[in-house]
């Protein structure tokens, strides 16, 4: 069974993330959305809220699950028996950043990283942009799945 993790903070999950996950489940038997815990980050949404957003968004898809973890992604993958990391790329800057991480992970483990380009209609969306719009009471609802729209 080919499983992949899709790691990130998902603060909050966006339609860009949903696009990558939906396309990822056509490639893998299971996609595990792995929310990394980073003690140096200040999150807008609690871990419990982020997990709930994801569970609600994918409640009808048994090929998608969500977990949280701390520590190195490669150690987490080894612990749960996952050999693939799924990542989305929006632009050349994302590619350069993600390429360095993928090379490092590959050097330190046997993990393979699979990159998917975001669709043109979601390539401009990022969680940081969504958070900024929310902070200033802007209309963020076209950028996130229904589960987040209730916030």
Residue 2: name the closest of 25, 35, 36 by CA: 25
- pLDDT tens across the length of the chain (151 residues): 799 999 999 999 999 999 999 999 999 999 999 999 877 788 999 999 999 999 999 999 999 999 999 999 999 999 999 999 999 999 888 899 999 999 999 999 999 999 999 999 999 999 999 999 999 999 999 999 999 987 5
Bridge partners of 4, per DSSP, are 31, 84
Tokens linked to 70: 């701390």
pLDDT at 151: 56
H helix runs in the chain, sequence order: 15-24, 47-57, 73-80, 92-108, 127-135, 146-149
Beta-bridge partner residues of 6: 33
Q: Which residue has the tokens 């200033």?
A: 136
What is the Cα–Cα distance from 140 to 130, expressed in whole angstroms? 6
Q: Which CATH architecture has domain 3-149?
A: 3-Layer(aba) Sandwich (3.40)
10: left (phi over 0), alpha (psi -120 to 50) or beta: left
Active site residues: 17, 41, 90, 127
């Amino acid at each position: 069974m080919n499983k992949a993790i899709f790691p990130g903070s998902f603060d909050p999950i966006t339609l860009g993330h949903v696009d990558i996950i939906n396309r990822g489940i056509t490639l893998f038997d299971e996609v595990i959305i792995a929310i990394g815990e980073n003690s140096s980050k200040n999150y807008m949404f609690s871990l419990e809220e982020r997990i709930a957003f994801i569970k609600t968004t994918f409640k009808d898809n048994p090929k998608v699950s969500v977990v949280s973890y701390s520590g190195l992604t490669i150690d987490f993958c080894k612990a749960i028996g996952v050999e693939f990391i799924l990542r989305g790329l929006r632009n050349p800057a994302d590619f350069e950043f993600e390429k360095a991480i993928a090379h490092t992970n590959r050097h330190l483990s046997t993990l393979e990283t699979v990159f998917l380009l975001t669709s043109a209609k979601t390539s401009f969306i990022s969680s940081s942009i969504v958070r900024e719009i929310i902070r200033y009471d802007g209309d963020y609802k076209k950028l996130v799945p229904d589960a987040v729209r209730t916030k």
